[in-house]
Chain A
């Protein structure tokens, strides 16, 4: 059978069932709009969360009297024998003092007369969750409860426990919340779209029954409905994308200059987002129509 016939049938159905078609179209429009705003938001948030997680580090303080040989030995130890090390940065006494001065606290150190700051290794783990393993490798927990260091030149190993724990739990909560919201949102929109389509099909179930009794095959009946779904999805999707474009140009772009979060580099680029949303709206609508029809085809 010709595509032209199915196409004409679909257009006729759209015209004849303007109200349910409009409802389905509006549902898709709203859903796509929400998704279009939500997806970049999630990405920006997780991007920001990852940035915070990148700041989780372990500090290895050397004894204040450590020699250059000790420093080299410890560096080699960290680089070869400690697991999950991502990046190692050495901060010497002098550098540490300079940093303190820069922070405006130079006066206190001048009062002391000498430099009390130790040489320090800053270890960034390959994954923030492995920070504790690094600490345990350098300063294993002794049976009595305290910690003993693996090299006499090391004074203490700290992972800024409180900060780390806070950061890790906060980012975990943010990620979980976002994932949960995303799942709820997608589920809600799918149900909403399925329901709207089903409603508009329900109004026409008698028509489908008659078609079957006249001897129409399932696909002969289904194709116009699927095409109709494609059209409804495409119209809803295009309108939503146009609105998103307006929002982007009018609201987001001016703000992006001022807010780092919005300008986060992890955000998906706009054309890809649009293509994805359009594809999703058409696919969901067409599949929804085709599948929802099954129920009414059993005559």
Chain B
């Protein structure tokens, strides 16, 4: 996949360009580090209760659990939509509580976020939706012309450039959402129930897309309650229940070696059929 290779090259170029190393990561280079994180809502409900886990760069992690187990709370804390009431969250070595309200937009630009309800801008075409993520960061027109078609090819939307979100199927909308999340080539991609509104077949397509993104070196965290999908993917699983981590299975047991995208795809479809 040419687009994937271009992405890897771009990431390498960018890494080389950013010379000053940020504060050393708290726990041996973890990209996400939760240390005893607690979130209590004003209503008295407990979102998270002393959650600790670390995600290494390049990992593909599933966050599973029933409704109300704290998956979405974890996601909201990660995009700094809400603040933890206790504990510490570090992302790529940065303490999230140290980021001021004014700096939050700049922090979010380093994340790709995919939502269950896609959250696309309704009166913009597919192309414009993806381009907006670049315009926000001050991307030039040339950059947009260069990157957007590329990323849309990667997500299989080349023929839908000028469609509006309401003219697309759910799966296609979610692909646009993934494309938008990934167009800035963030080191970390978060997906909150990305397949929650999709049928199993379409879900596999989206998961495949996320896997392909993960293969380029991007860390991917997916919150889901789709247990079938998680079992089939055979990646690390962190299970939450009542705001606590009750299972954290490394993928090591399942995964002997790196799969290619093709092998991954074949296995997923094989088990589905």
- A contact residues around B122 at 8 Å (CB): 206-207
Which of A108-116, A213-221, A226-234 participates in binding chain B? A213-221
- Is A270 positioned at the interface, with any CB of B under 8 Å from its CB? no
Q: How far is the CB of A165 from chain B (nearest CB, A)?
A: 62
Q: Which bucket holds chain B's interface residue count?
A: 20 to 34
Question: In the bound complex, do residue A214 and residue B79 qualify as a contact, i.e. CB atoms below 8 Å apart?
Answer: no
CB < 8 Å neighbour of B105 from A12, A16, A212: A212
CB < 8 Å neighbour of B136 from A206, A207, A216, A299: A216
Q: 1/0 contact trace for B128-144 toward A, CB 8 Å?
A: 00001101111000000
What's the Cα separation between A12 and B133 when bound, in Å?
A: 17
Q: How far is the CB of A7 from chain B (nearest CB, A)?
A: 13
- Is B23 positioned at the interface, with any CB of A under 8 Å from its CB? no
- Is A168 positioned at the interface, with any CB of B under 8 Å from its CB? no
- Is A155 positioned at the interface, with any CB of B under 8 Å from its CB? no
Question: In the bound complex, do residue A214 and residue B81 qualify as a contact, i.e. CB atoms below 8 Å apart?
Answer: no
Q: 1/0 contact trace for B106-149 toward A, CB 8 Å?
A: 11110101010001111100000000110111100000000000
- A contact residues around B180 at 8 Å (CB): 214
Q: How far is the CB of A21 from chain B (nearest CB, A)?
A: 13
Given A209-B119, A299-B81: A215 in contact with B133 (beta carbons within 8 A): yes
Question: In the bound complex, do residue B113 and residue A213 qualify as a contact, i.e. CB atoms below 8 Å apart?
Answer: yes
Question: In the bound complex, do residue A217 and residue B105 qualify as a contact, i.e. CB atoms below 8 Å apart?
Answer: yes
Question: In the bound complex, do residue A213 and residue B119 qualify as a contact, i.e. CB atoms below 8 Å apart?
Answer: yes
- A contact residues around B132 at 8 Å (CB): 211, 214
Question: In the bound complex, do residue A210 and residue B81 qualify as a contact, i.e. CB atoms below 8 Å apart?
Answer: no
CB < 8 Å neighbour of A207 from B81, B102, B106, B121: B121
Q: Which bucket holds chain A's interface residue count?
A: 10 to 19
- B contact residues around A214 at 8 Å (CB): 108, 132-133, 136, 180
Question: In the bound complex, do residue B123 and residue A220 qualify as a contact, i.e. CB atoms below 8 Å apart?
Answer: no
Question: In the bound complex, do residue B137 and residue A215 qualify as a contact, i.e. CB atoms below 8 Å apart?
Answer: yes
Given A1-B138, A211-B132, A299-B81: A216 in contact with B119 (beta carbons within 8 A): no
What's the Cα separation between A213 and B123 when bound, in Å?
A: 17
- A contact residues around B115 at 8 Å (CB): 213
What's the Cα separation between A207 and B123 when bound, in Å?
A: 9
What's the Cα separation between A211 and B123 when bound, in Å?
A: 13
Question: In the bound complex, do residue B135 and residue A215 qualify as a contact, i.e. CB atoms below 8 Å apart?
Answer: no
What's the Cα separation between A12 and B124 when bound, in Å?
A: 10
CB < 8 Å neighbour of A215 from B109, B119, B120, B121: B109
Question: In the bound complex, do residue A215 and residue B108 qualify as a contact, i.e. CB atoms below 8 Å apart?
Answer: yes
Q: How far is the CB of B167 from chain A (nearest CB, A)?
A: 15
Q: Name the CB-closest residue of B to A9.
A: B135
A-B contacts, 21 listed (Cβ < 8 Å): A1-B135, A12-B123, A16-B123, A206-B122, A207-B123, A209-B119, A210-B120, A211-B132, A211-B136, A213-B79, A213-B81, A214-B133, A214-B136, A214-B180, A215-B106, A215-B111, A216-B105, A217-B102, A218-B105, A220-B105, A299-B81
B residues sitting closer than 8 Å to A (CB atoms) are 79, 81, 102, 105-109, 111, 113, 115, 119-123, 132-133, 135-138, 180
Query: Given A207-B122, A214-B180, 11 other A-B contacts at CB below 8 A?
Result: A16-B123, A206-B119, A207-B121, A211-B121, A212-B105, A213-B79, A213-B108, A213-B113, A214-B132, A215-B106, A217-B136
- Nearest 6 A-B pairs (CB), nearest first? A215-B109, A215-B108, A216-B136, A16-B123, A217-B105, A210-B119
